[in-house]
Amino acid sequence: MMLSVQLQGLLWALVIIFSLLSFDKATYKALFATPVRQTGVLACALVFALLWRIKAGILTGLDLHILGVTAATLILGWRLAILSSLLATALLFAFGLIELELLAVQILINAFIPIIVSYLAFIVSYHYLPRHFFVYIFVCAFITAGFIACLKISLGALFYLAIGQYNWQELTDNYVYLSAIIWFPEAMLNGMAITIMITYRPHWVKTFYDKDYLDS
C-alpha cells in the first residue's frame, strides 16, 4: 500500500498539531517533579505497547486489538495519555512492528482520537450526569471504552475506504462486523482497571475526585 505524499503530510500535520496542543508547561513541570506520575506514564506506555502488539486481523492494516486508552486517559488525563501513546508507538516502531508509512494514521486512529473522545466523554459525564462512583465506572470507563472500540474500527474502515485500499463489502465482511465482538472485552478491561485503581489507589487517578464521587 502506498499513501500519497500529500496524505502523508496531512496525517503528520494532524499528529504534530495534536501533540503540540497536548503540551502544557504546568503538566510537564508536575510530571518531572512527581516520580509516581512518571512511573504511571511509563507503565501506561508499556501496557499500550503490549496490548497493541497482541493483535489479529484479516485485512492488511486493519488489525483488531484491545486499545486500553480510556482507562489510561482517566488515570493520567488526556495530555499525559497522549505522551504515553507516543512512547508506546515509538517503542513498537523501533522494533519494526509498525511500518513508517502507517505510523501517522496508527497514532491518530489508535491513540489520539480515542484519547480525546474518551476525555470528552468524561467531561460530558462530569457536568451533565450524577457524580456518583458507579456512574464514573460504568459511563466514563465501561460504556466509553466499548464505544471507543467501535469508533476505532469505524475510523479505520472509513480511512481505507477513502484511499481506495478496500471496498465497503470487503470492509463490512472482514472488519466492521468485528466491532460486535471487540467492544465487550475493551469495555471490561477498561472498566476493571478503573475499578481496581479507584478502589485501591484513587489518588493515582487524575479524573477521580473523592469529594464529588464518594460524598454524593
Model confidence over 86-143: pLDDT tens digits? 999 999 999 998 889 889 999 999 999 999 999 999 999 999 999 888 999 999 999 9
- Residue 18 in grid coordinates: 495534536
Q: Helices 113-128 and 144-162: crossing angle, nearest 10°?
A: 140
Average pLDDT, the chain: 92
pLDDT in tens, 17-66: 999 999 999 999 999 999 989 999 999 999 999 999 988 777 777 888 99
Residues 151-186 have pLDDT tens digits of 999 999 999 999 888 899 989 988 898 888 899 999
- Total tally of structural domains belonging to the chain: 1
Which stretches within 23-143 are classed as H helix?
A: 25-33, 35-53, 69-76, 78-94, 100-106, 113-128, 133-135
Q: Map residue 198 onto helix, strand or coil.
A: helix
* Nearest Cα residue to 178 out of 155, 150, 197, 151: 150
Residue of 49, 54, 43 whose CA lies nearest to 80: 43
Structural domain boundaries, residue 73? 5-213
* Distance of alpha carbon 22 from alpha carbon 101, whole angstroms: 24
CATH number of the structural domain spanning residue 18? 1.10.1760.20
